[in-house]
């Protein structure tokens, strides 16, 4: 392969990570501050606030702007300190956890943002489990130190207990809220004092004072905080885990940083350390073994599909994570599942709703390509002479179901098109009654907020009004047996037979115990909790 050394250098510059958190922990603000340091934006937009305020760069969908929550994952790229940084911003709201889950499949590491006043919250726990499952390195930023925070030792203890990962604080906060004085850098053995920076800008004065300069330090933080800090450092050196990059790499140890994204304190320190410690693009598992980023020509997989990102052009974008080699916009590639050789149309890097057409990209990068309706989540794209598939992305089982009623039957065509396109994005799943066609549509979601998004998008993007009737089912099972006669299946009174868009049979249940009972009544029946993409 020509220019192999150039490829390797470019690939090793990449850092591709997802930012995960509970809603309101300050993830979007932190993302913006990263972009600010990378020179990608000049002024950070306030995330929430009045209708006139600038919206956060990474929130683009109308419903996100109205509600102040991130619904879809954005991809943001910038250069900093010799690295090419790809941030995958994820929805914090638990109703969109499936989107976050798929995004984590495209990342090499994760940054976990925790609110210092709230500690580990439910959503953090759920997403964290996915990181652990994938064994990806996790870096922790404890945010909102400019507000009153929990005891620092308690916060670390909670991370260790709740998430089952060892912590290694890289710096240590001095006070919180109005008394937040700064952080102690454990490596440099100095204190970086906190000076309130103007919101949205990166200029701020931070002073480094060595621990040995006790007198100067006391003048900055006061005798009481000085004594408290000395006591805490002593405790810390005896109690916390030693820093070990191998353990960080295997997802067994998380380096912890403290700061405030809103006032910009500790963000750049975190970014600098993170880029040194985070891995460059990692090898990916395929059916022929591991695919090494710098040892193979171009390959990628689709982890997200988004329709109607641009109102002016009714388009669908397939987001791909490049796993190996260099992408050349003029070269032909093979879509493995579709069995066709093609050029990827309009390859672009997408910064929220702004796009930049690309001529090349490297392993670790995320590209968006125009999708005429041929790609599915989990699909592999590689060079025409290659033949392999990356590991599939499992689909979450929906937990909430509703029957969809179309209000204007004259708009049947738009309705079917709209609901099918939104379903292909993977956030909702659509099913049909077992013995009918598309007349009776049942929609399944992981979180109920997805119903609102579906209704909103059908109205705004496809001009179709719907009514949703909630159904009592909570459990769904895919039927693994291909030879089963569904008509002869003996179920329970709370069971419903349905099929997915590919015609595969499924069962819905109101009660969990009905699943076991149905298995007992039908010898040889095999049911699965996961669908296949």
pLDDT given at position 168: 94
* Among 52-66, 110-124, 291-305, the least confident range: 52-66
Average pLDDT over residues 411-439: 80
CA 325 to CA 1: how far, in whole Å? 10
Q: Is 0.85 topped by the overall pTM?
A: no
| pLDDT class of 76 with cuts at 50, 70, 90 | confident
Residue 328, pLDDT > 90, answer yes
The confidence score (pLDDT) of residue 48 equals: 36
- Token representation of residue 440: 């009776």
Coil, strand, or helix at residue 240?
coil
- According to DSSP, the residues that pair with 329 across neighbouring strands are none
Reported as a pLDDT band with limits 50, 70 and 90, residue 73 is very low
| Beta strand spans in 376-488 (E) | 380-382, 400-406, 428-433, 441-445, 466-471, 475-479
Residue showing tokens 């059908």:
458
Q: Lowest mean pLDDT: which of 15-19, 68-72, 344-348, 366-370?
A: 68-72
Reduced to 3 states, what is the DSSP secondary structure of residue 162? helix
Distance CA 419, CA 455 (A): 10
Question: Using alpha carbons only, how large is the chain's radius of gyration in Å?
Answer: 25
Q: How far apart are CA 45 and CA 30, in angstroms?
A: 11
Average pLDDT for 433-455: 79
Averaged pLDDT, 75-97 = 74
Q: Would you state the pLDDT for residue 513?
A: 93
Q: What pLDDT digit, counting tens, does each position of 353-394 carry?
A: 566 788 889 999 999 888 887 888 889 999 999 999 998 776
- pLDDT, mean of residues 454-471: 89
Task: Enumerate domains of the chain plus CATH numbers.
Answer: 15-72+92-101+108-277 (3.40.50.300), 284-382 (2.40.30.10), 400-528 (3.30.70.3280)
Q: Do 309 and 422 meet the contact criterion of CB atoms below 8 Å apart?
A: no
- Tell me, what's the pLDDT at 169? 95
Report the pLDDT value the prediction gives residue 312, as an integer from 0 to 100.
Answer: 54
Residue-level pLDDT at 403: 92
Please tell me the distance from the alpha carbon of residue 423 to that of residue 411, in angstroms, as a whole number.
18
How far is it, in rounded angstroms, from Cα 247 to Cα 283?
Answer: 18
For the chain, the average pLDDT equals 82
pLDDT of residue 501: 75
Residue 394 confidence (pLDDT): 65
């Amino acid at each position: 392969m020509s220019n192999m050394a150039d490829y390797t250098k470019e690939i090793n510059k990449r850092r591709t990570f997802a930012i995960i958190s509970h809603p309101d922990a300050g993830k979007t603000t932190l993302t913006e501050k990263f972009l600010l340091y990378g020179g990608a934006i000049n002024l950070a937009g306030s995330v929430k606030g009045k209708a006139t305020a600038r919206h956060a760069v990474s929130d683009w969908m109308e419903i996100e702007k109205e509600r102040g929550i991130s619904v879809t994952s954005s991809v943001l790229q910038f250069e900093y300190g010799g690295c090419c940084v790809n941030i995958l911003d994820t929805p914090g709201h638990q109703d969109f956890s499936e989107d976050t889950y798929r995004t984590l499949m495209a990342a090499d590491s994760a940054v976990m943002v925790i609110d210092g006043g709230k500690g580990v919250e439910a959503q953090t726990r759920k997403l964290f489990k996915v990181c652990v499952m994938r064994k990806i390195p996790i870096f922790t930023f404890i945010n909102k130190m400019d507000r009153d925070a929990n005891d620092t030792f308690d916060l670390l203890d909670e991370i260790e207990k709740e998430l089952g990962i060892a912590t290694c604080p890289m710096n240590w906060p001095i006070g919180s809220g109005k008394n937040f004085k700064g952080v102690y850098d454990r490596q440099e053995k100095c204190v970086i004092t906190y000076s309130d920076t103007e919101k949205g800008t990166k200029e701020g004065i931070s002073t480094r004072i060595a621990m040995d300069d006790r007198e100067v330090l006391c003048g900055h933080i006061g005798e009481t905080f000085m004594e408290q800090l000395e006591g805490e450092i002593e405790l810390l050196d005896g109690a916390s885990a030693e820093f070990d990059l191998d353990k960080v790499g295997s997802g067994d140890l998380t380096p912890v940083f403290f700061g405030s994204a809103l006032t910009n304190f500790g963000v750049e320190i975190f970014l600098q350390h993170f880029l040194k410690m985070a891995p460059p693009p990692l090898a990916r598992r395929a059916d022929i073994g591991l695919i090494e980023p710098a040892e193979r020509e171009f390959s990628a997989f689709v982890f997200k599909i988004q329709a109607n990102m641009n109102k002016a052009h009714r388009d669908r974008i397939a987001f791909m994570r490049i796993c190996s080699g260099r992408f050349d916009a003029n070269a032909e590639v093979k879509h493995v599942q579709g069995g066709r050789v093609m050029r990827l149309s309009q390859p672009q890097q997408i910064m929220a709703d702004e796009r930049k057409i690309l001529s090349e990209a490297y392993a670790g990068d995320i590209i968006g390509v125009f999708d005429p309706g041929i790609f599915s989540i989990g699909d592999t794209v590689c060079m025409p002479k290659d033949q392999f598939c990356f590991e599939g992305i499992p689909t979450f089982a929906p937990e909430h179901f509703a029957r969809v009623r179309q209000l204007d039957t004259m708009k049947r065509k738009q309705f079917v098109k709209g609901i099918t396109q939104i379903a292909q994005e993977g956030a909702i799943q659509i099913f049909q009654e077992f013995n009918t066609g598309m007349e009776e549509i049942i929609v399944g979601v992981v979180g109920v907020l997805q119903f609102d998004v579906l209704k909103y998008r059908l109205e705004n993007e496809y001009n179709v009004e719907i009514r949703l009737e909630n159904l009592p089912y909570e459990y769904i099972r895919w039927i693994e047996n291909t030879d089963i006669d569904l008509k002869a299946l003996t179920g329970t009174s709370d069971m419903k037979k349905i099929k997915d868009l590919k015609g595969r049979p499924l069962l819905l249940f109101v009660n969990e115990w009905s699943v076991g009972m149905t298995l007992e009544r039908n010898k040889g029946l095999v049911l699965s909790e996961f669908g296949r993409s």
